[in-house]
Amino acid sequence: MAILKQYKKSDGTTAWFYKLYMGKDPITGKERRTTRRGFKTKKEACLDLARLQLEIESKGLNNNSVRTYRELYNLWMSQHTLNIRNTTEQRVRNYFTNQILPSF
């Protein structure tokens, strides 16, 4: 079930948001909910809501593709290297490949 509402921002403009109950997580048994904000129109919010519901129906709730520590490390490193210098990247890569990943 989804809730679609309009709200007023601090600068005086209005925007739309929705809250969506996505179901229960099969692994943890906890309820999964999401809130998406910042849509300029109700139509934009409805379209994004429909897209998200379709994605949940097709892929399901648990769409984690990471299965190993190395996959998680590669995913994290690809994002982390955008914000660090080359020397730091080299140091972190060496530490992970020589110290952390072999122990797992």
Rounded Cα distance, 40 and 17, in Å: 9
- Write out pLDDT tens, residues 22-60: 888 777 788 989 999 999 999 999 999 999 999 888 887
* Residues sharing a CB contact under 8 Å with residue 71, sequence separation 6 or more, in sequence order: 65
Query: Are residues 54 and 76 located together in one domain of the fold?
Result: no
Total domains in the chain come to 2
Query: Are residues 52 and 92 located together in one domain of the fold?
Result: no
Domain extent at residue 19: 2-59
Query: Are residues 16 and 45 located together in one domain of the fold?
Result: yes
Query: Are residues 43 and 83 located together in one domain of the fold?
Result: no
Q: Where are the alpha helices (DSSP H) in 1-104?
A: 42-59, 69-80, 86-95, 101-103
Query: Are residues 9 and 39 located together in one domain of the fold?
Result: yes
Query: Are residues 11 and 52 located together in one domain of the fold?
Result: yes
Mean pLDDT of 84-99: 93
